[in-house]
Amino acid sequence: MNPSHPATGSTPLLSTRFGLRIVALFLALAILLVTVAVQVYRAVGEFVEASDWVAHTMEVEQEIVATIASLRDAEASQRAFVISGSAERLADHHGALPRIGDHQARLAGLVANNPQQAANVQALSGLLDRRLAGMREILDLFEREGIAAMRTSAPVQRSRDEDAAIEAAARRMLAIEDQLLAERRARTDDKAMLTRLLTIGAVISCIIILGAALVFVLREQARRLRSEGRVRSTNEELTHSLDESQRLGRTLRQLGELGEMLQGCRSPAEATTGLAVALPQLLPRMSGSISLINSSQNLVETVAAWGEAGTAGEGLFAPDDCWALRRGQAYPPAGVVPPFRCRHLPATAGADSRAHLCIPLLAQGSMLGIMTLVADEPADAAERAVAVATAEQVSMALANLRLQETLRTQSLRDPLTGLFNRRYLEASLDRELQRSARGKQPLSVLMLDIDHFKRFNDTHGHDAGDALLAQFGALLARSVRSEDVACRYGGEEFTILLHETDAEQAVERAEQICAAVRTLDVQHRRQTLGPVTVSIGIATAPRDGNAPDELLHSADRALYAAKHGGRDQARLAA
C-alpha cells in the first residue's frame, strides 16, 4: 500500500472538522449577537416606555396641581368679591369654576387605567363638589345677610376642614404617583444592569470565540485568508454594535439623570443653572443656549449658555427673530438646506447654514422659549433625536416649575395688595415667637387699621377702596425691612411682625408709618381721593404675651384704644 494514502484521506476529514468548527463558532457568535441585540432592543423599548410613564406621571401631577390651583383661584376671587363687592371679582369667580371641572375630567382620564388613583380622583371630586357647594352657600348668605353673618356661618367654618381634606387627598395622589415613578425607575435600573452584564459577557465570549477561530485558522493554512476576512468583518460588526449600544445606553442614562435633576429643582432659575452644566455632557459636539419668553410675550431672554458659539449669541431678542418660534417646530428640518437664517444666531455659527438647530420649548400648548444648538457641521439623525428628546424634557420640567411657583405665590400672597395673607401670618407668628424666645430677643406686632375706610368706600366706591388698599399695601412693603413680615390681616386691617424690635423701637416705627400714610396721595381714575390716616396698635413679646393669640389680642386692644383715642395715632398695649 502507498504510505501516503492515510495522509491523503485525512485532508478532507481535517477540512470537514475545520468547517464544522468554524460554522459552530460563528453560529454561536451569531446567536450571541442576536441575543445581545434583542436584549438591547428590549432595553431600549423599556427605557422609552419608562420615559413615557415618567411623562404620564408628571402630567398627572400637573393636573392635580392645576385642579387645586383652579380651586384656589375660585376661592381668592370669591374672597375678593366679598371684601370689595366688585362684580368683576364675582365674574372671575364664576369663570374659575369651569376650569376646575375641566381639570377634574382630564385627571380622571389620565388615571383611568389605575383603579386606586381612579378611586382617589372620585373621592377628590366629591370633596371638590362639596367645597363648591359650600362656596355657593357662602355667596348666597352674603347676598342675603351681609358679611357679618357670613363670617360666623357654618359654611365658612366648614370650608377650612374641606380645604384640609382636599389638600390631603391631593397629597395622597401625588404620593402614589411618586411611588409609581420610583418603582418604574427601579425596574429600568435593573434592566440596565442586566444589559450591561450581558454586554460584558458577550464581549468576553466573543473574545474566546475569536481566539478559538484564530487557532483553527493557524491549523488550516489553506483557508486562512477567507477565515481572517470573516473574523475581521464579524469583529467590526460586533464593535460597531457594542459602540452603538454603549452610546445609546450612555445617552439614555444621561437623559434619565437630567430628568431626575430637573425634578429636584425648586425654581426655573435653579433648573437653568443646572442645564448649563448638564447639556454640554449630553450634546458634547454642540454649543448652545436656552432662551425663555418673558411674561409679556414680546422678548426672548437667554438664561443659560454653553460653548463658544452659545455664549456669543444674542442675549435678548424678539420672538420673530427665530424661525423655530414662528413655525412652532424645529428649524431647519432634517436634511434640508434652510432658505432663511435665524437673526438671533451668532455671526460665528458656522459657514454651513444647516449647522445650527433651533428647537421650540413647548409644554401643554404653551410656548416657553427655544433651545439653540450650533456645531461645525449638521447634526446626524441620532444627535437630532437626542436634542429633541432633551428639549421635550426641559420643556416639561420648566412648565412644571412655573406652575409650582404660581401655586406657591397664590397660597401665600394677598392678590390685591401683594402682601402676605393671614394664613402666612398665622404660620409665621408661632415660629417667630419660638425663635425670639430662643434668642432672647423681643418681637413686636403692629396691628394697623385704615381710619374711616367704610366711609371712604361709601363716598368713592369699592374700586377706589381697592385702589387705596393696593397703594397702602405698597407703602407698607416699602416701609418694612427685609426680615420683617407685612401681612393683610383682613379687610382694611394689616399686621406687621418686627424682628428684634422692643416696644420703644416699635412705637417709633409705628409713628413713622403714621407720618408716611398722612402723605399718601391716593390716585384713582386721575383723581386725588383725599387724605388718609391709620391707627396702629402695638404689642411686644414677651411683655404682652408669649402665645400668638395673646400677642394678637393685645395688639388688637391697643388698636381699639388708638381708634377711641382720636385715630391717626399709635398706641402701645397697656
Instruction: Report d(CA 525, CA 432) in Å as an integer.
Output: 41
Asked whether the bond before 531 is cis by omega within 30 degrees of 0, the reply is no
Q: Is 492 annotated in the active site?
A: yes
Q: Map residue 75 onto helix, strand or coil.
A: helix
Peptide bond into 542 cis (omega under 30): yes
Catalytic residue among 183, 492, 493, 511: 492
Q: DSSP states of 194-261 as a string? A: HHHHHHHHHHHHHHHHHHHHHHHHHH-GGGHHHHHHHHHHHHHHHHHHHHHHHHHHHHHHHHHHHHHH
How many of the other CB atoms lie within 10 Å of CB of 246? Answer: 13
Any idea which residue has 452584564 for its cell? 197
Q: Which residues pair with 290 in a beta bridge?
A: 304, 371
Contact 559, 536 (CB under 8 A): yes
Full strand arrangement of the beta sheet holding 356-363: 316-317, 300-306, 287-293, 366-374, 356-363
Q: d(Cα 2, Cα 224) in Å, to the nearest integer?
A: 30
Q: Which burial class, exposed, middle or buried, applies to 392 when counting CB atoms under 10 A from its CB (0-12, 13-18, 19+)? A: middle
Residue 140 CA to residue 150 CA, distance in Å, equals 9
Burial of residue 202 (CB within 10 Å: 0-12, 13-18, 19+) is buried
Question: Helix 224-264 to helix 381-412 angle, to the nearest 10 degrees?
Answer: 10
Q: How far is CA 233 from CA 11, 147, 227, in A?
A: 27, 86, 10
3-state secondary structure at position 489? strand
CA distance 259 to 269: 16
The dihedral through the CA atoms of 266, 402, 72, 163 has a sign that is negative
Q: Which helix (H) or strand (E) holds 317?
A: strand 316-317
Helix or strand or coil: residue 157?
Answer: helix
Catalytic residue IDs: 492
